[in-house]
Structure 1
Amino acid sequence: MELSDIELILLWQKGEELAFEAIYKRYAVQLLSIAYQKVGERDIAEDIVQEVFITLFRNKEAADSISSLFAYLYVTLKNKILDAYRRDVLQRKYLHHVNTSFVDERDNSPYFQIETRDLEKKLEFEIERLPPQCGKVFKLSRQKHLSNKEIALQLGISENTVEQHMRKALRILRGNLLYYDKSMMLLLVMLHTHLN
């Protein structure tokens, strides 16, 4: 007999991790379908659904107070999708700002040169913190200017895997540098050809 959502939640709270896995299996495909319809990119949809379940996992102690698990997951999914849209709009605004004004603001003043070096160091630091394979792919693409096909051949992986690593790298870097206004601009300048 199939357990109800609340029975699974109570088992999970008692330490049965397989109960959380059962909740995931019960709703992940449905949530992924909804997310994919809204964002149109499978990898982004998968990331959003993963964030939904991370939110549930972090709310473990209070999960037994959820009256409808699907409603909870659906509302969380909707909020995560809205967050993704906001990030995308913000990034587009940065790109627009970079394209229209940042280049014109550049000068040869010592202050600007020091600031630029500082931003480049921050970016290099974040690149070094990328997951190993992700970092390799990113460096071969951005620093060695290899095509996805060339990277795939060199690392013995598929072109699709190369693309996934690049998207992941860009997502991590954007997230880690989002709080640095000009760092974000510098990142977008460096990655502009990849993003377009």
Structure 2
Amino acid sequence: MAEVLKSILAKVSEGDEGAFKTLFDMYRPNIYTTALRVADNEWMAEDIVQDTFVKVWLNKHLLTTIDNFEAWLYILARNITLNIVKKRDNYKAYAQEEAKAALIRIYPEADYLLQDKEFRNMLEEAIERLPPKQRETYQLIKEQHLKRHEAAALLKVSPETVKWNLDQAMKSIRAYCLAKMKDVPFVLLLHFLLKYF
């Protein structure tokens, strides 16, 4: 495992986005679970994952010099978690600004804004294609930020039905967007998926 990780890190340090995606897939579940346990908020946990991996990408040139990558990664994620939790009252605006600033260091602002606009349009297309119940559930949870039980009360269904409809909506939206964004750099795609999902 250590040799495999070393090889992946070497590729990431050279800008290999496929290797970066592999690294993301390897460590995302643990970082998300830990962040969710500390922050007790799904939105915050997603932002913590996003910020962590954007910072990994920004520091990719250092990856081959780090003795214990896992320890470094978890300390990075812990520090980001503590910063976001401290700013709990206005964390969403703060986290999005932080992520945007980091990405603009990678991509010129004009490119970022153009990609963001394209992604929003694509997301709206994907939402419009959803069946009515899934679309309404998605909008209540993801756009109006209601809790599951609040959405269930408004829709007059059980929280389990809300969960199922949201899961189905997310799968459909993600599949639609990923199919349309095959050529977008992974770090940018990651940012948009976590920002809007």
Give TM-score scaled by structure 1 length.
0.48
The structure whose RCO (Cα within 8 Å, separation 6+) is larger is 2
- TM-score normalised by structure 2 residue count: 0.48
